[in-house]
Amino acid sequence: MSSATSSTSASEVEQLDRADLVHGFSNLHAQATNDVVVISRADGLRVTDHRGREFLDAGGGLWCMNVGYGRQAIADVAAAQMAKLPYFHSFGLFSNEPLIRLADRLLKLAPPGMTRAVFCSSGSEANDTQIKIVRRYNNLLGRPEKKKIIARRSSYHGSTVGAGSLSGLPMMHATFDLPIPGILHTLSTDYHRRPKPIETPEQFTKYLVDNLTQLIESEGPHTIAAFIAEPITGTGGVLVPPPGYFVEVKRVLDHYDILLIADEVITGFGRTGSWFASPPLQLKPDLMTIAKGLTSGYFPMSGCLLSAKVADVLYADTSAHAMFAHGFTWSGHPVGAAIANANIDIMEREDLPGNAARVGVYLMERLRERFQGHPLVGEIRGKGLLLGVELDADPATRRPFAQYGKVGSLLSKACFEERLLVRGGHDRTMAALAPPLIATRADVDEIVARLGRAIDCVTGEVKATGLAA
């Protein structure tokens, strides 16, 4: 194993990376020749690599940098907590004060009905935990067959064996023998790619709910335990549900006594203009998954919030096997909890959910103004500071690119050359935007200008290479 020193040159650091690291969600074979971008410092919305190149991070890292980079107050809180209590576990009867105060705070911020919190280290871990909670819940109710979970295509719920199975992205399943048994998938809320006979959002809602109902009935309602959904799908394409969708979904789930899990990993903590995206969308969860914005990426921390409906069953168990035999070494880490509290302090003090709502409206307006009538822009969608610009081969007919991967690579490269970092979209060509919630109108103007130049560049390359044919 090689090790770098402070005097190691930029090129040597890059070579060490190629020799030693396995990068997630990357083409491993191509790493031998691809450039390595080693980020060395960051402040606000901007990150700088070890070669001095500054980038405008319009993707918020991995959708998580809600309060922005370089918050000294968070660093100070972390240092103070490390000096006082750097670590202790939360197994059995043990706890710590930052964690206790965080749990109480989250349950007050969460949608009505959440009464208990379980902590983990990542969104993937938290959704794995949800699978186990759902299984235990039904076992305690004497329903051993009621274990299947329905997720949606184009969804992203993590990358572990369990969470990766929930995720509705084929590229995550193909070579890992996923999904595991008991995980099913229904249609996504992709109105832009709706079947041609559907002409209105209301018709689309009915179409989706009818499909879900048919799946439940074909599998047998007595076997379906839960339905998991992101309020607004993030990684899979920034997909906003049509009006009334979650009201109708909840009606069906209640009829068949199926739990509803809201995955608020991306949408939580102000991202869509409110503390959580569920209430404005009339999504009333039985369980909720949180991560990312919980600490704004300053510490690995996530959690599951449980409604009274679920928690009461778990806490009523007095059997010989009553132990809740689940947890992780770093569950409820005191430093993570202290950072989360400091992060929420900033969000409350600066009204970052409100800023996301206001600046998000401006960003949507500027995007629609810049790309009105653009030959490649098929749809602009989203809410708050979670927006997506999708490219089509023919926007008039909503025809996607046959080689969306190649066009997506061109878009990624063009944005990089503009020193603009954006998120992509699986199985489609798009620029997904999720800048820190501190973004200003001036930041928005710069994001739109850089993205505009990048998409114009792609337009010329698509025309020259015939990729739109």
User: For residue range 310-330, what is the model confidence (pLDDT) as tens digits?
Assistant: 999 999 999 887 899 999 999
What is the reported pLDDT for 328?
A: 96
What is the reported pLDDT for 469?
A: 80
* pTM confidence score: 0.95
Q: What percent of the chain has pLDDT over 90?
A: 91
At 98, the pLDDT band (50, 70, 90 cuts) reads very high
Q: Which domains does the chain have, with CATH numbers?
A: 37-67+351-465 (3.90.1150.10), 73-349 (3.40.640.10)
Mean pLDDT, residues 68-91 taken together? 98
For the chain, the straight-line distance linking the first and the last C-alpha, in angstroms and rounded, comes to 49
Q: Which of 188, 175, 295 is nearest to 234 (CA)?
A: 188
Q: Tell me: the pLDDT tens digits for 165-189?
A: 999 999 999 999 999 999 999 999 9
Mean pLDDT, residues 276-301 taken together? 98
What is the reported pLDDT for 2?
A: 46
Mean pLDDT, residues 29-54 taken together? 93
At 3, the pLDDT band (50, 70, 90 cuts) reads very low
Q: Is the backbone peptide bond immediately before 179 cis, with ω within 30 degrees of 0?
A: yes
The tokens 């914005």 sit on which residue? 293
At 344, the pLDDT band (50, 70, 90 cuts) reads very high
Mean pLDDT, residues 192-221 taken together? 97
How many whole angstroms separate alpha carbon 39 and alpha carbon 3? 18
Structure tokens at 173: 């399943």
How many whole angstroms separate alpha carbon 223 and alpha carbon 221? 5
Burial label for 419, CB within 10 Å (0-12, 13-18, 19+), is middle
Count of beta carbons in the 10 Å neighbourhood of residue 230: 28
